[in-house]
A and B are shown apart, each in its own frame.
Chain A
Amino acid sequence: MTLTLSEINEQRAQQSDYLWTLNFGPQHPATHTTLRLVLQLDGERVVDATPDIGYLHSGFEKLGEHLDYNQYVTITDRMNYISPAANGVAWHHAVENLMDIEITPRCQYIRVICAELCRISDHLLSCGAMGLDTGAFTFFLYAFYQRELIYDIFESLSGQRFHPGYTRVGGLFHDLTDVTIEKIRAFVRGFPKVHGELEKLLNRNRIYVDRTKGVAVLTKEEAINFSATGPIARASGVTRDLRKDEPYLCYADFDFQVPCMKTGDCYARYYVRMREMLESLKIVEQALENLPAGPINVGEDERTALPDKHAVYQSIEGTITHFELVMNNRGFEVPQEEVYGAIESPNGELGFYIVGDGSDVAYRAHCRPPSFIHFAIFPHLIRGHTLSDVVAVLGSLNIIAAELDR
């Protein structure tokens, strides 16, 4: 017999009747997404927090067992919808690992550009929302204006602002156009100035620093023990970054640094994200200026990448390849094996564990969602802090509920 949430609270309340219980969420402006916390309060102090999640659970992993390797990108886009293209890159990275496909250099570079633009967009939201919750509304507006520019880039890249669905097995949906390249160049030129203004607004803002410095400290040992990755682990002194440590795609070609801090508090998590944006911008610039020529998809003979529409309508090979890949009793040739493929997503290690059974649909498509792992740390972080710190800690962890619940 397992205890239900209400029973636990009742037992605890009997032991200490001066504590009172506060229900935080699921519909609360400061949770930003749909998640619920049951807080045990001693006056203003949080004695314990019990997260209750699952409000957005929509069976994404079950759907992964019914949609083929190309179709599932529409679902991964909806996991972390703040940086959707990075999820597609992660999914197809794992799929190509399973099928042993070597993608073309141009495709690698474009995927890197997408992933890094997503990282900037995700960090802008995370820092902006954290600023908003701690009273810095102007910062939020500045950050969101820049996110709007990134949405414009994705719109011209794929035709969709919010859910681009841009990656395909063995390639991409479309090649970069000159218009898109010009938009990315304009963003790369303009962003450092705005970033400087953003830093001036918050880095030494006394209210913001008072509310975040020394709050919710995560030590290095705890970060590793709790399986934290990404900016949250790097703010605690763990230097692990998959872009440097297991260079996937073409990250080995670029000159960039991995910002780390040792304090592990909310301010460190904010500051690591702010510095990472500039490093990502460096990668985008280098990738764009050194973009290799050539095709974006692997060859038609290999029967893995969908041919472009011109080839489908004008050549017999293109028609046959398209037909073979789209018909549901043909499709991809997949080994009966299991692989894990992971990338460094904006929030941390985003990996997919895929079991192939020879058909064109995955037998099991498991996602390792960074938000889920990080939200498990929350009760540990908030214990002993005041109620007003709850929003600062939530903001610094950057919990995206669609990815948390899947």
Chain B
Amino acid sequence: MSTETTQQIEQRIAGCTVSEFRGQARVVVPCEAIHEALTLLKNECGFDLLVEITCVDYLNFRDATDRFGLVYLLANSATNERIILRTYVNEPDPSVPTATDLWRGANWMEREVFDMYGINFAGHPDLRRILMPEEFTAFPLRKDYPMQGRGERHNFPVIRRGDA
């Protein structure tokens, strides 16, 4: 990971922190600056491949101050460098601007995060549930959602052959 990129982000984005673990560079940016940071990395630093968007629920995590951590994994397809961009969002309205205007591939990744964690991606063209059924109300990968006992098959309406 070149230090130029991390220096450039530090200069341009106020309030970001850079760290490294096992050779992977990570930048934590404030929630308001996430779109600016993604644009900077894509258009000026050459990180043109959005590898994945995911989320971590830090409820009950030791020393955690924020509820949700969004993770953007980026790669540079020419030099094969990687960078991990992170930001934190909180209840009651976890919301970040969408990245679909930068990468079309972000569409389904953001839909999955919305489906599993209920994070709103402002400006997303089609923010619907993707894996869970449409009528599902909870967000199953949140830590306050139990692994067993809620939203299971017996809670779903039964459609009989005659009514279908």
A interface residues with partner B (beta carbon < 8 Å): 2-5, 53-54, 57, 59, 61-63, 65-66, 97-98, 100, 222, 224-228, 238, 240, 245-246, 336-340, 342, 349, 351, 353, 355, 357-358, 363-364, 366, 368, 372-373, 375-377, 380, 405-406
Contact = CB atoms under 8 A, between A and B. Distances in A.
Which of B84, B104, B107: most chain A CB closer than 10 A? Answer: B104
A222 B103 CA distance: 9
B127 to A, nearest CB: 6
Contacts of B84: 340
Nearest to A405: B131
B158 interface: no
A226 B104 contact: yes
Contact of A54 (B49, B62, B82, B130): B130
Given A66-B147, A339-B24, A353 B128 contact: no
Contacts of B131: 53-54, 57, 405-406
11 contacts: A5-B134, A59-B140, A65-B147, A224-B49, A225-B104, A226-B103, A228-B105, A246-B80, A340-B24, A340-B73, A353-B54
B51 interface: yes
B75 to A, nearest CB: 8
B45 to A, nearest CB: 15
Interface string B68-111: 00010100010010101000000000000000000111111100
A391 to B, nearest CB: 22
Contacts of A336: 62-63
A228 B51 CA distance: 9
B77 A227 contact: no
Interface residues of B, number: 42
Ranked 7 nearest A-B pairs via Cβ: A227-B105, A376-B108, A54-B131, A245-B80, A226-B105, A368-B52, A57-B131
B128 A227 contact: no
Contacts of A355: 56
A5 B140 CA distance: 21
B62 A349 contact: no
Contacts of A226: 103-105
* Chain A CB within 10 A, most for which of B26, B52, B129: B52
B26 to A, nearest CB: 8
A338 B57 CA distance: 13
A198 B123 CA distance: 48
Nearest to A54: B131
Contact of A372 (B61, B62, B112, B133): B112
A59 B57 CA distance: 16
B52 A351 contact: yes
B27 to A, nearest CB: 13
B156 interface: no
Contacts of B109: 227, 373
Interface in B26-76: 26, 48-52, 54, 56-57, 61-63, 71, 73
A406 B54 CA distance: 15
A366 B54 CA distance: 7
B56 A338 contact: yes
A357 B61 contact: yes
B62 A2 contact: no
